Amino acid sequence: MDIVFIEDLRIDTVIGIYDWERRVRQTLSFDIEMAFDNAKPAATDDIADTLNYKDVSKRLVDYVAASSFGLVETLAERCVAIIREEFGVAWVRLKLSKPGAVRGAKAVGVQIERGIRPG
């Protein structure tokens, strides 16, 4: 199985359940792994045959920046659905981190895995 990844994609958004969180934009960090067979793009050397990580990143930046969820769990699920449905990815692992949310911790968040991981 091949993995296309995006590491530490930082996006500002409104996220959180507390009143003060609803009034400010916070930076979230996304680490994403996506199963994709890279044999064809490697053979053709054509970007049209790839899972274009720039396109995935741009779509998530646009979506997340315009969103306003209470829970990181909800946002993570929606982002994974976008990746799977719009980019035809069968398996995704997404780690969504909320830096500075808990005193003493570098970050908190969720990691979810959806789809069937190719063997």
| CB-count burial class (<10 Å; 0-12, 13-18, 19+) for 34 | buried
Q: What is the pLDDT of residues 15-67, one digit of tens each?
A: 999 898 899 999 999 999 999 999 999 999 999 999 999 999 999 999 999 99
Q: What is the pLDDT of residues 73-83, one digit of tens each?
A: 999 999 999 99
DSSP class of 47: G
pLDDT at position 119 is 73
Q: What is the CATH number of domain 3-115?
A: 3.30.1130.10
| Residues identified as active-site | 98
Give the integer Cα–Cα distance in Å for 79 and 82. 5
Q: Residue ranges of the domains in the chain?
A: 3-115
